[in-house]
Amino acid sequence: MLYNILIVKYGEIGVKGKNRYLFENKLIKNIKNMLKPIGKFNVYKEYGRIYVDLEDYDYEEVIEEVKKVFGIVGVCPGIRAAKDYDKLKELALAMLEDKIEEGYKTFKVESRRGDKDFNLTSQEMSLDIGGYLVYNVKDRIKVDVRNPEVKIKCELRQNHVMVYSDTVAGYGGLPLGTNGRAMSLLSGGIDSPVASWMIAKRGMDLEAIHFHSYPFTSEKSQEKVRDLAKILAKYCGRVRLHKVNILEIQKAIGLECKEEEMTIISRRFMMQIAERVAESRHCDALVTGESIGQVASQTIQGLTCTNASVSIPVFRPLIAMDKTEIIEVAQKIGTFETSILPEEDCCTVFSPKKPVTKPRLERIEKSESKLDVEKLIQDAIDNIEVEDIEF
């Protein structure tokens, strides 16, 4: 089938009322960005829909990229031609012949009359085109108006006709950059890239902050985080990555505090640094990959102690997900293979043998009071390395 156009269907934007055009324009821009590696495409809107002209590109390759753009619920490959009712019937027949070859047994026709001057109603068009198709394909496929295996969708618009059938599901969500900004705590693990992706899917622009203990952790582990940020950038547009060395903080905690409190106190420092960097970058929330009870610091008491260190909202999209569910998403978005590469990160290097699982906030705060918290945080922030990562 020689498809020459993609029809892009979007979901929640349709309810945005007066702001709808802002969302649509953002979506068009994001589609063009996603398609840049393949080529330059004409992406435009018409009759409350978004179209992509395919020209000579392979439609399957283009759909594969378009469906990843947040805000899109489906993509339909179609054939568009100059306005001519007989041509519409011919295109419908060509598409049905394709479907018969693919082995489908039942079909129905659905029509839309965008041109109100045309002498048939939508319903009459469906009957007329359906009759024409049945006459031509004889008994090679049956009509089933209630539960057809395939629908042949025919449109007669003001200045063109169009036929399409399949819809490839998109990732849904809202267009990037329509819901503010968030700062994601990005480790080299499986969880944080998935959490970042899920928040971006709700329309938030993302920046990332990564904590390391170089030279205790290798250059390789930072390379790995850059690779993860690069994969995320495919969905999220350019990602600004802030790299923070917390070796001095970890040494100070190791000297002054109880070993079992190491993880939770380190986490609190990370949150406070992330909060300050987020505020300087006009981000409205932090994002973490935490899930209840997954590791010792993620018990409800542990999360309470971490939360208490900041006043900015902390989003945890994976909070109630199982590891298997998280891995499924990681595989779907392409971060899993990179996440499982065996590199040390700052959490594993200094992790205590028996971390406290039910920390009490007042005890943790008492331990922290032995440290010069303000100086440690400021020194870490003063030595941040920043890098913009594009896909």
Q: Model confidence over 208-254: pLDDT tens digits?
A: 999 999 988 888 999 999 999 999 998 998 999 999 999 999 999 99
Is residue 378 a part of any domain in this protein? yes
Q: Which residue has the tokens 């659905």?
A: 110
Last residue of a domain, one of 149, 171, 193: 171
Q: Which residues pair with 80 in a beta bridge?
A: 162
Q: How confident is the model at residue 151 (pLDDT cuts 50, 70, 90)?
A: very high
111 and 189 part of one domain: no
148, 228: one domain = no
pLDDT at 372 over 70: yes
Q: What is the pLDDT of residue 370?
A: 96
In a domain, 273, yes or no: yes
CB 176 within 8 Å of CB 211: no
What mean pLDDT comes out for the span 35-51?
A: 91
Whether residues 185 and 279 fall in one domain = yes
List 142's β-bridge partners, or say none: 106
* Residue 136 and residue 225 share a domain: no
Separation of CA 297 from chain center: 27
Residues of each annotated binding site: 185-186, 210-211, 267, 289, 298
Place of tokens 């992406």: 43
The count of domains in the chain is 2
Q: Are 59 and 77 in contact (CB under 8 A)?
A: yes
Asked whether residue 281 carries a pLDDT value surpassing 80, the answer given is yes
Structural contact between residues 75 and 7, judged by C-beta atoms closer than 8 angstroms: yes
Q: What is the pTM of this model?
A: 0.89
Residue 52 structure tokens? 């992509």
Q: Are residues 258 and 295 in the same domain?
A: yes
How far apart (Å, rounded) are the C-alpha atoms in residues 112 and 119?
13
Asked which of 146, 171, 196 is the last residue of a domain, the reply is 171
Q: Residue positions in the annotated binding site for ATP? A: 185-186, 210-211, 267, 289, 298
Reported as a single tens digit per residue, the pLDDT across 299-325 is 899 999 999 999 999 999 999 999 999
**320-349 residue pLDDT tens:** 999 999 999 999 999 999 999 887 666 566
Helix 85-101 to helix 122-137 angle (10° resolution) is 50
Domain limits at 145? Answer: 5-171
Share of the chain above pLDDT 70, in %: 97
Note whether residue 176 is domain-resident: no
Helix (H) or strand (E) holding 224: helix 219-236
Which residues sit opposite 304 in a β-bridge?
none
Residue 168 confidence (pLDDT):
95
For residues 160 and 241, membership in a common domain is answered with no
Q: How confident is the model at residue 355 (pLDDT cuts 50, 70, 90)?
A: confident
82 φ, ψ (degrees, to nearest 5): -60, 155
Q: Tell me, what CATH number does 371's domain have?
A: 3.40.50.620
Residues 248 and 165 in one domain: no
Residue 86 sits in the same domain as residue 119: yes
Given a cut of 60, whether residue 389 has pLDDT beyond it is: yes
Q: What percent of the chain has pLDDT over 90?
A: 80
Q: Are residues 187 and 335 in the same domain?
A: yes
Domain boundary among 131, 152, 171: 171
Judge if 156 and 194 occupy the same domain. no
193 and 125 in one domain?
no
The CATH number linked to 42 is 3.30.2130.30
370 and 228 in a common domain: yes
